[in-house]
Every structure is written in C-alpha cells, then in structure tokens.
Amino acid sequence: MGLTSGAFLAALVVLCVAATVATALFAARIPGPRPAAVLGRIAMVAMCQLLAVAVVAAWINNAFGLYTSWSDLLGTSGGGAVFTGPAGGPAGGPPAGPAVFTRQPDGVLLTHARGPQSGLSGQILVWTPPEYDLPAYRNARFPVVMLLHGIPGSPQTWFRAGDMPQAVETLLAGHRIRPFLLVAPVIDPGRVNTDCSDAGSVHTASWLVHDVPAIVGRSFRTVPDARGRALLGLSTGGFCAVKLTLQFPTVFATGAAMSPDPLDGDPAALPSPAVRARNSPQQLVRRVHPSVALLLATTLQDRTSRPADLARFRQAARPPTRVSTLVLATGGHNFGTWKRMYRTVLPWLSSRLAGGPGTP
C-alpha cells in the first residue's frame, strides 16, 4: 500500500475511528488489578492519539507532496541524488542517456532523469493536452508551462493538491486558454534548496533552465524558443519563476508567481550575501531589464508574500521588462488561494505563449 495512496489514508481513518469506539466501549471494562487496568486505559488512549496524528500527517503529506514513497520517507530511496560533476564523480541516480517517460494511472507521464549540464537528477512530470494527440496537430509543436513547486513539496504537489491538470482542462473546455504542455520538475534535487540557483557544486538553475527543457524537448514536440516557454511557480517556486525569467530571458519569456517567497532571497538557502544578491529578484529587476513579462500574485492576508513587496518590485522594473500584479482581498499561503488565482493567471500566461493550436 503506497504512502500517498488514498487506500492508505482511508485505512488510517478507519483504524482511528475503530480505536476511538473501542476505547469508549471497553476502556472502563478492562479486568484485573486497578494499576493494570489504568495502564490499559492509558495505552488505549495513546493508541487513539497516535492514530489521529498519523491521519493528519498522512493528509498533510498527500496535500503537499513532502514524501512520495515509503523509501523516500525512510531515507532508502536511490532517486533524486545530487551529482557533483566530473571532478567529484556521480553520487548515484539514473544513468546518463535519453529519459524514459512512464504513464501514471492519472495519465501524467513521469521520468527520473539525469541532467548532463547540471549533473543533477530528479523527477519530471509531463501532461499533454488532448490536442497533442489529434491527427490534425501531429506535426505541431506545443508551448510549455513549467510548474515550480514550493519547498517543502514535490512535483506531485501540483497534481495532488493543486488540481492539475483538471484546472487547465476546465479552462480549455471554456475556450479561455490555448493548449500547452505542463512540465513539473523537482526544484530541489536531492532536497538541497538553493533558491533555484547555481551555488557551489549544486547547479539547480542549470537543471531547470537547460537540462529540463532539453530532456522534455527530446521526447515531446515543444516550441524550442523562449516565446513558447513560461514559468509558473508558487511560494519558493514563485520566487524561482521570477528570478529565472529575469536571468534567462532567452529561455523563458514569461513568468508568473503565486505568493512568491520574499524577493530579497533566503539566507538559509544562500548563506553568502554576494551569491544571494546575484540571485535576488529584487536586486535583479534593478540591474537588468530584459524583454519579458512577469505577473506576481498574492493576497492582502498573506504574511509571507506581502503586497507591499510586490509593489516595490513592480516599481523597480524598467521597460522593456513588463510587470503586473494581482492582489486578492482574502486568502492565505495555500492551495485554496492559488487555485482561485488560476482563473486569472493561466489565461494571462496562455495569451503570451506562441506556437501550437491557438485559443479555440
């Protein structure tokens, strides 16, 4: 039974309810000496509490994709290893070579690939729109929206908690967006957070900017230039979407960030002030002015991603960089809020993508 399966969560709920009912019915009837009976009652109550905690922990894990399997939880997984490159040699993970995508039960395609430029490896999930397989478009190249998850989190978070691809399918059916591929890579291979930067021997920016587009482009018909690629991130992934669009405008011409982390950078991820300044979106938007479009979204109630910080970023931008902001009146730093943002953010991204069938 998989760690993230619905059956496992359901089993925990059933056990928790059964244990609670059993405690209510039989705790007062435990026979034997009084000390033994008291210990028995304590044990029954403790079991109820343990199962309740397990239910909540499993639900949180499923919602945020913190651990994707039992081996991931127990630290025995061989996947997602960080490679140090030729000087240090590989630290494990998939061999170099073409990626093999496997279709999952929900129709999403999964691979675990090694990036030749970064030396990193990790999961990449891909969803193709229905039009991708239609005979009329068999030779067409499709634009890509790359989904960048938060930390903690995983690529699966978008699909388990973020209503992907259902949210895209709904907008497609309503003729509000054009067909595009969704690509969700891991943004912290080996669970090393560098704010999507090349820092020391960990080249996360190279993984996301060079390796992932190349790996996907070899297996799918994608638009091979920046006009056909957009970044969409949430929380830490939102920070990354803004940063990478500013740093690599020849790869991504459009970026959208939902509740991005503070745009000055995270000292825990990049302890060096100099490295952090080079990778801070707030610093970058003052120094460079590429021809890109950015949308930053938050709410008046989000204490992590404050509207004043987004306004400060927008005011620092200079043409041809174009920055828009979206501020909802209510909502916290969670998927309930981000799913409400989809209705604005996804059409905004779609209208700036080139290639593939147009909006129906």
Q: Answer yes or no: is pLDDT of 84 > 50.
A: no
Where residue 238 falls (left for φ over 0; alpha for ψ -120 to 50; beta otherwise) is: alpha
Tokens of 74: 């127990």
Give pLDDT, residue 68. Answer: 52
- Tell the burial category of 212 from Cβ atoms under 10 Å away from its Cβ (0-12, 13-18, 19+): buried
Convert 109-165 into a string of H (helix), E (strand) and C (coil). Answer: EEEEEECCCCCEEEEEEEECCHHHHCHHHCCCCECEEEEECCCCCCCHHHHHCCCCC
Q: What angle do CA 136, 138, 139 make, to 5 degrees?
A: 110
Report the 10 Å Cβ neighbour count for 306.
Answer: 15
Q: What angle do CA 19, 23, 29 make, to 5 degrees?
A: 145
Q: Answer yes or no: is pLDDT of 139 > 60.
A: yes
- Among 261, 227, 73, 226, smallest CA distance to 149 is for 261
CB 51 within 8 A of CB 19: yes
Highest mean pLDDT among 17-31, 47-61, 62-76, 273-287: 273-287
Q: What residues have CB less than 8 Å from 49, skipping those under 6 apart?
A: none
- pLDDT tens digit string along 97-120? 678 999 999 999 999 999 999 999
CA 359 to chain centroid, in Å, comes to 26
What does pLDDT average to over the chain?
Answer: 89
Q: Which amino acid, 343?
A: R
Return d(Cα 67, Cα 160) in angstroms, integer: 12
- pLDDT tens digit string along 161-220? 999 999 999 999 999 999 999 999 999 999 999 999 999 999 999 999 999 999 999 999
Higher-scoring residue by pLDDT: 52, 73: 52
Q: Answer yes or no: is pLDDT of 309 > 90.
A: yes
Report the 10 Å Cβ neighbour count for 132.
Answer: 18
Tokens of 219: 């297996």
**Count of residues in the chain:** 360
Q: Which amino acid, 226?
A: A
Regarding pTM above 0.85, the answer is: no
Of the listed ranges 63-67, 267-271, 325-329, the one predicted with least confidence: 63-67
Report the 10 Å Cβ neighbour count for 325.
Answer: 15
Give pLDDT, residue 245. Answer: 98
Q: Please state, for a pLDDT cut of 90, what percent of the chain lies above it.
A: 72
Q: Answer yes or no: is pLDDT of 89 > 50.
A: no
- Among 16, 106, 104, 105, smallest CA distance to 57 is for 16
- Tell the burial category of 85 from Cβ atoms under 10 Å away from its Cβ (0-12, 13-18, 19+): middle
Q: Answer yes or no: is pLDDT of 60 > 80.
A: no
Give pLDDT, residue 274. Answer: 96
